[in-house]
Amino acid sequence: MTMFDLTGRTALVTGSGKGIGFGLARGLGQAGARVVLNGRDEARLARAAETLRGEGLSVAVAPFDAADHAAAAAAVARVEAEIGAIDILVNNAGMQFRTPLEDFPVERWSELMRTNIDTAFFVGQAVARRMIPRGRGKIINIASVQSELARPGIAPYTATKGAIKQLTKGMCTDWARHGLQVNAIAPGYFKTELNQALVDNPEFSAWLEKRTPAGRWGNVEELVGAAVFLASDASSFVNGHILYVDGGITASL
């Protein structure tokens, strides 16, 4: 189905050395895109790129700190000059820190805001400034079920993901008239390194399986279809949308 074909397009995925970012980069590459992996750990990026190249995918790396405004702008300029125009941006960089809100360290609050919100704005703005004159572009932000729901111990993370939901709508409102589609994928609970402690906790896993209508954790591969849809021509009139891929957890009490 040609409307889902990403051949000839370049996709920059932030935070893609592991976890969801790596899985989405792989999926976009399998759909035909040239993928540009981003992160701060150059050794990890090199290993991730080697793995994907071994699968026959077209891969480049762009190590930079997405939470640094100047570094992000310079890196986007470098990618466009050396690799090609960025057609697809996936703002995936993120982190988690769990502790009761009354004990939450202020330095961790600031780190969460920089990593989960600033990165999406900094890289999104730098890429959009280049997409706008071309009259086209796809930006996919990674939100969460915590864009809608909260759990004990992660209030600041919940605040960041609520902000990503609204930033997505704001980006759409400003940039749709220039031919950009800006949407978000909101994953539920997926088996990733970020969630490994929860996966390994029998009590939490039992609660999650009971709470989720699908009755299980999600697998990262199950996010790929949503990403390819939002990155492709198939979603040409989808804008400002938050696509929940969560096994039904936001649909059920």
Delimit the domains of the chain by residue range: 2-243
Q: Is the dihedral of CA 175, 177, 178, 183 positive or negative?
A: positive
Could you tell me the pLDDT band of residue 38, with boundaries at 50, 70 and 90? very high
pLDDT for residue 48: 98
| Helices then strands, each counted (H, E), the chain | 9, 7
pLDDT for 194: 79
- The amino acid at 133: P
The pLDDT value given to residue 154: 96
**Active-site residue (options: 22, 121, 122, 157):** 157
* Burial of 125 (C-beta count, 10 Å sphere; 0-12/13-18/19+): middle
**What pLDDT, in 10s, does the model give residues 199-211?**
999 999 999 999 9
Q: pLDDT tens digits, residue range 62-120?
A: 999 999 999 999 999 999 999 999 999 999 999 999 999 999 999 999 999 999 999 99
Cβ burial 137-169 (10 Å sphere, 16+ → b, else e): bbbbbbbbbbbbeeeeebbbbbbbbbbbbebbb
- The mean pLDDT of 156-167, rounded to a whole number, is 98
- CA–CA separation, 96 vs 89, rounded Å? 22
Q: Which of 140, 146, 104, 138 is nearest to 21 (CA)?
A: 140
Q: What integer pLDDT is reported at residue 220 of this predicted model?
A: 97
Residue 27, CA distances (Å) to 52, 83, 231 in order: 10, 19, 11
Token pair for residue 185?
């994928």
> Which pTM was predicted?
0.97
Beta-carbon count within 10 A of 90 CB: 28
Mean pLDDT to the nearest integer, 15-39: 97
* Mean pLDDT for the stretch of residues 22-36: 98
Look at residue 253 and tell me whether its pLDDT is greater than 90.
no
Write the pLDDT tens digit of every residue in 64-75.
999 999 999 999
- For the question of residue 189 being annotated catalytic, the response is no
The span from the CA of 103 to the CA of 118, in Å, is 24
pLDDT at 202: 95
In the predicted model, is pLDDT for residue 1 greater than 90? no
For 2-243, the fitting CATH number among 3.40.640.10, 3.30.470.10, 3.30.70.1560, 3.40.50.720 is 3.40.50.720
